[in-house]
Amino acid sequence: MPSRDNSDKKSILKCDTSDDSFDDHSITKTLFDYILKTLPKGKTILELGSGWGTGELAKHYKMYSVEHDEEYLGKYDSTYMYVPLMEHKPLANHKGTVWYDPATLKCHLKGLKYDLLLIDGPPHTRSGFHKYFNLFDSDVIMIFDDYQREIEKKVMNSIGSRLKRPYVVYCSGDGKPFAVLNDPGLK
């Protein structure tokens, strides 16, 4: 698997050219395999957004899913937390003003312990994650799915800079990269 260091030494790119067979709206097989390789079975995953990948991950992990879409609540073997979306004030240098209701999210997350945070929601706007980052454990493995989108890239880069930690970008055969902050492979 080729890898390359960026000149700023803040990120590493690793590519997998194998075909990903998961559906278009879920996590990729490369991301799924990365989690299986990295996180011991039986550990706990908190995911923002849920879908078909939730069901696959639940075969190996204790799942908690933050979900805004009532259609997905209870669909897979996960503890679901219904958190509606709401408008927020725009952030400088970030597009998107819709994100999870922070008061509801804070209530659900209070006291929750998890080993990995998968940021895969809400759809099309993740800038609120930067604004409400203090609600989350910054020491767990954090995976930012859909890194090919400009807004996800900005959120990931701003969190990495804020924490002054390097991250790894993994790309898959279908062109859907994901970024990992606190990657155990960098320690």
Q: What is the pLDDT along the chain (187 residues), one digit of tens a residue?
A: 333 333 344 556 565 545 455 655 689 899 999 999 999 999 999 999 999 999 999 999 999 999 999 998 999 999 999 999 998 887 777 777 889 999 999 999 999 999 999 999 998 788 899 899 999 999 999 999 988 888 888 899 999 999 999 999 998 777 789 999 999 988 6
* Residue for token pair 């880069």: 157
Cα separation of 156 and 167, whole Å? 9
Whole-number pLDDT of residue 11: 59
As given in the structure block, the two tokens for residue 167 are 């991250």
The answer to whether the CB of 67 falls within 8 A of the CB of 100 is: no
Cα separation of 40 and 28, whole Å? 19
Whether the model clears a pTM of 0.75, i.e. scores above it, the answer is yes
Q: What is the DSSP string of 133-147?
A: GGGS-TTSEEEE--T
The class level of CATH for 3-186 reads alpha beta
CA 105 to chain centre: 16
Which amino acid makes up residue 50?
S
Q: Is the dihedral of CA 17, 19, 24, 30 positive or negative?
A: negative
Whole-number pLDDT of residue 102: 95
The answer to whether the CB of 128 falls within 8 A of the CB of 164 is: no
